[in-house]
Structure 1
Amino acid sequence: MSLDVSVRQRLGAFQLDIAFRAEGGLTALFGRSGSGKTSLVNLVSGLTRPDEGRIAMGDRVLADTKTGLFVPAHRRRIGYVFQDARLFPHLTVRQNLVFGRWFAPRAERSADFDGVVDLLGLSSLLARRPQRLSGGEKQRVAIGRALLANPRLLLMDEPLAALDEARKAEIIPYIERLGDEAGVPILYVSHSVSEVRRLASHLVVLANGRVVANGPAAGVMDRLDLFPLAADQEPGRELDAEVVSHDPSYGLTTVALAGARFHLPTVAAPIGSPLRLRIRARDVMIATRAPEGISALNVARGRIVSVRPDGPSGMDLLLDCAGDEILARITRRSFDELGLHPGTKVYAVVKAVAFRPAGERPPAD
């Protein structure tokens, strides 16, 4: 089901002027705080009215200022998942889930309870009350409750923002399954680069109340000019890895990535555990030949996907290293002397001490 949005709304001194079309799957609304994400979600959900414009899901028009049409929120059949789960504390997980069905007309209650429970891994939790659940478990229940309301669209407004990294890692695989198996289009609000890269099939990037990029997520994420909008942290990339081995004699852990094995300071995680790493762009060196006789332990073969100037003397390079994306920041002089350009095959060289867990802020230099 497509979502068509073309709206304008003034909120004090802030002007929202947004138009985009998304086709099914998981569409991420992405941008810094204050870019207009939540204001747009409120318009789509029917919590606020646009000053001007039109919103439609498939062939069903939800708002059209030209004709005066405005479908109220309770009739839009949109499921809403907030940052906090907002479960009923006096009800069990099963009762919270069943409550969602009351929001769907009896003739349209097609969502399968057992199927939703299986999809979200809730079978062992059904008898518990919310106070006995972790943050990630509460969010899974909230998603299940929304699905059992048989929504035509699922809105997820920064559903992982209140969770720590461990709980985020717990719930993300379930959201991935939603996109593949639930059959409900999802509008997902986030300002996290890693969440969007992993989850989104379509990406709408907002800044100052405007759409600055719109299209398939893979293509939009290659736009290096959007990194200043992505987050407040220093430019870099996050990598999904798996712990392969530990070497106590050297204090190192070896992890496997898509196309390489990297060594980093010991991580307290069992062998086989998933691990998400962050590499700052300035911690990556570039070589055009396989390096020899260097102290850096980590070398990955890759290809330059795109480039962007960084001020008068720097260049940012986005690399594809066998499916892993690495961002490198080098001087313009090095870029020219090495004869680099999009498509050049290179080696990314990273010191072991440069790695840090994703979400951890780098130390001040």
Structure 2
Amino acid sequence: MSLSVDVALTRGAFSLDVAFEAGAGLTALFGRSGSGKSTLIHLICGLARPDRGRIAVDGRTLVDTQARIRVPVHRRRIACVFQDARLLPHLSVRANLGYGRFFSGRGEQAGAPDVGTVVEMLGIGHLLERMPAGLSGGEKQRVAIGRALLARPRLLLMDEPLAALDEARKAEILPAIERLRDEAGVPIVYVSHAVAEVARLANTVVVLEGGRVAATGPADAILRRPDLFPDRQAEAGAVLDMMVESSDDASGLTQLSGIAGRLSVPGLALPAGSPVRIRIPARDVLVATQVPVGLSARNVIAGEVAALTPLGAAVMVEIACNGAVIPARVTGASARDLGLEVGRRVYAVIKSVAFDPAGVGTGRRPVEI
């Protein structure tokens, strides 16, 4: 499954001119408020018309202004989940799910999820006889996602679905979205301006700025670039897919393995062999030119300087570690004193306490060690 977008639109002082390709998995539209994320979602699902351009899903053209093609909204087979779950308040959870299935207009299809599969995937079996008024925000969103999946969509659009939820509800629904990404077989376009969400969920990131594509690519490559976060450079960092190797109850630490090496993180309630995704903010990485001794930090990973990017008084040091890249944000003075230059052998030093267990996501695939 794939999504191809090349559209332009002008409304008053705002103009949008965007082109990108997205494949399977979850593609995040990332950017500040007013960058054009929601406008683009409306164009894809048919709630707005472009002035120029083409949109295609899995090779089927939905909009082509030159060829005068515009598939009606109800025939696009695109499902949307918004900030507000928008469940039908007079129907039970079971009936809300059935509503999505009814309006798909399609019977059983090869590869299409059935009710039981969707209920299990989203963990909502115990909610089926409940009414929407008795659900938490996270439970409502999981039901809304289930209803959308049962409409048999070619594409699922999620417009900041966690924005209205508190941290506890976000923690409740993030694993469900990860399972959706990995198991549903439906490409997802996910709108967010939260770096932690995008780092945990996205396969591909499209960064929008002022109605234009500022960058697009794999999540790990995009989210380590400080130039894409002009107001939040401190949030740039590494995104690593790793594997649980073992846990030590005595120390309270879990050992992870990946192409970058081994890392100790606060204990995770996951069995050995579980794929995980972690984010390491560049501000939490120290750089050493020799193997550190007498240091409390437990994670020391060898690598070499791949790039040095000035950031005002600071410098972003990208450390290539056996194919993975771990960025470190240091002061310009430290970079000079250490004699950092491209190609120099260095060590990335990361404190175990820098990792937030609540921010550890499910890895997309097992990592070869």
Corresponding residue to 2:210 among 201, 208, 211:
208
The answer on whether the counterparts of 2:5 and 2:20 sit within 8 Å (CA) in structure 1 is yes
Give the alignment of 1:4-15 within 5 angstroms: 4-15=4-15
Question: In structure 2, how many angstroms separate the alpha carbons of the residues matched to 1:353 and 1:56?
Answer: 45
Q: CA deviation at 1:71?
A: 1.7
Q: Which amino acid aligns with 2:116?
A: D
Deviations 1:49-88 (A, max 9, x none): 0011111112321111112222222221111011121112
Secondary structure of 1:260's counterpart equals strand
Are the equivalent residues in 2 in contact too, given 1:278–1:357 (CA < 8 A)?
Answer: no
Q: How many angstroms apart in 2 are the aligned matches of 1:282 and 1:217?
A: 18
- 2:201 is matched with 199
Superposition map of 1:229-244 within 5 A:
232=232, 234-235=234-235, 237=237
Say if 2:106 is the partner of 1:106: yes
CA gap of 1:335–1:239, structure 2 versus 1, over 3 A, is same
Distance 1:276 1:55, change over 3 A: closer
Q: Does 1:290 align with 2:291?
A: yes
Is 1:7–1:54's contact at 8 Å kept on the other side of the alignment? yes
Deviation at 1:108, TM superposition (A): 6.1
Does structure 1 retain, via aligned residues, the 8 Å contact 2:80–2:148?
yes
- Unaligned runs of 5+ residues in structure 2 are 271-275, 360-369
Superposition deviation, residue 112 in structure 1: 0.8
Cα drift, residue 153 of structure 1: 0.5
Higher mean alpha-carbon deviation, 296-305 vs 15-24, is at 296-305
Which amino acid in structure 2 is aligned with residue 226 of structure 1? L
8 Å contact 2:239–2:278 — kept in the other structure?
Answer: yes
- TM-superposed deviation, 1:239: 8.2
Mapped to 2, the partners of 1:137 and 1:211 lie a distance apart of 34
Structure 1 residues 150 and 351 mapped into 2: Cα distance closer, same or farther (>3 Å)? Answer: closer
What is the CA-CA distance between 1:42 and the residue it aligns to?
0.4
The aligned residue for residue 130 of structure 2 is 128
Q: Distance in 2 between matches of 1:260 and 1:219?
A: 20
Distance verdict in 2 for CA 1:126–1:237, change over 3 Å: same
Alpha-carbon distance, 1:209 to partner: 0.5
CA separation of 1:50/1:306 partners in 2, compared to 1, >3 Å: closer, same or farther?
farther
2:365 corresponds in structure 1 to none
Aligned length: 344
Q: 1:319 offset after TM fit, Å?
A: 4.5
Q: Deviations over 1:114-168 (max 9, x none)?
A: 1111111111211112222222221111110000000111001111222222322
Q: CA deviation at 1:309?
A: 2.7
CA spacing shift, 1:324–1:298, aligned 2, 3 Å? farther
Between 1:86-95 and 1:105-114, the stretch displaced more is 105-114
Residues 210-258 of structure 1: CA deviation (Å, up to 9, x unaligned): 0111233333334343232xx64743548899996689xxxxx756565
SS at match of 2:28: strand
Distance in 2 separating the partners of 1:239 and 1:50: 34
| Percent of matched pairs sharing the same residue | 54
User: Counterparts of 1:107 and 1:353 in 2: how far apart (Å)?
Assistant: 51
CA gap 1:51/1:63 in 2 versus in 1, 3 angstroms: same
Matched with 1:261 is 264
**TM-score, normalisation: structure 2:** 0.80
Question: Retained in 1: the 8 A contact 2:306–2:319?
Answer: yes
Cα distance change, pair 277–114 in 1 and its aligned pair in 2 (3 A): closer
- Counterpart CA distance in 2 for 1:180 and 1:262 is 24
Check whether the contact 1:288–1:347 (CA below 8 A) recurs between aligned residues.
yes
After TM superposition, give the deviation of residue 297 of structure 1 in Å. Answer: 4.0
Preserved contact between residue 301 and residue 349 of structure 2 (Cα < 8 Å): no
Summarize the alignment of residues 1-365 of structure 1 with structure 2, pairs less than 5 Å apart: 1-107=1-107, 110-228=112-230, 232=232, 234-235=234-235, 237=237, 259-261=262-264, 272-273=268-269, 281-282=282-283, 284-294=285-295, 296-303=296-303, 306-319=306-319, 327-341=327-341, 344-349=344-349
Moved more, 79-88 or 323-332: 323-332
Compute the TM-score of the two structures, normalised by the length of structure 1.
Answer: 0.81
